[in-house]
Amino acid sequence: MVNEIKRLIKSFGHALKGLKFLFSSQRNAVIHLLLMFCAIVMGFMLQISNSEWIMIILCSGLVIAAEAFNTALEKMADAIHPDKNDGIGNAKDLAAGSVLITAIAALIVGIIIFLPKLYSWVNSI
């Protein structure tokens, strides 16, 4: 039991090390993190519902996770085959495309949630 807890703590350490690497080396990950923070602040300001919070948190988490998977794939591919390779280039492009898809979906969800509330807030001033 004690060894399992130690292994669990160690695995959290590896995960935190990976997140530190992600946010210290990937400009887009930092941009996504800042946008997530803005969405959270707006959520509190505009008093979004529980279901809207769930959507904001899920979408934000998916974008950050997609960015992490993209970075992992790029680093692994570069380590395995540092020279230019069309197949690896295609895989990297697909991974980057998945980040774009999740970011666009998150943006659309944010617009659906926040735009009507911002419109009402502006009209109440």
CATH number at residue 86: 1.10.287.3610
What is the predicted pLDDT for the residue at 124? 87
In a domain, 57, yes or no: yes
In a domain, 43, yes or no: yes
What is the predicted pLDDT for the residue at 79? 95
In a domain, 84, yes or no: yes
Cβ-contact 23, 65 below 8 angstroms:
no
Q: 114: closest CA among 29, 43, 14?
A: 43
What is the predicted pLDDT for the residue at 6? 87
The two tokens of residue 21 are: 């690497």
Give me the domain span that covers residue 116. 31-123
Q: Give catalytic residue positions.
A: 67
**Stated pTM of the model:** 0.89
In a domain, 47, yes or no: yes
Measured CA to CA in angstroms, residue 38 lies from 8, 63, 77 at distances of 32, 14, 33
Q: Within the chain, which residues score under 50 in pLDDT?
A: none
In a domain, 24, yes or no: no
In a domain, 22, yes or no: no
In a domain, 106, yes or no: yes
Q: How many domains does the chain have?
A: 1
What is the predicted pLDDT for the residue at 125? 80
In a domain, 65, yes or no: yes
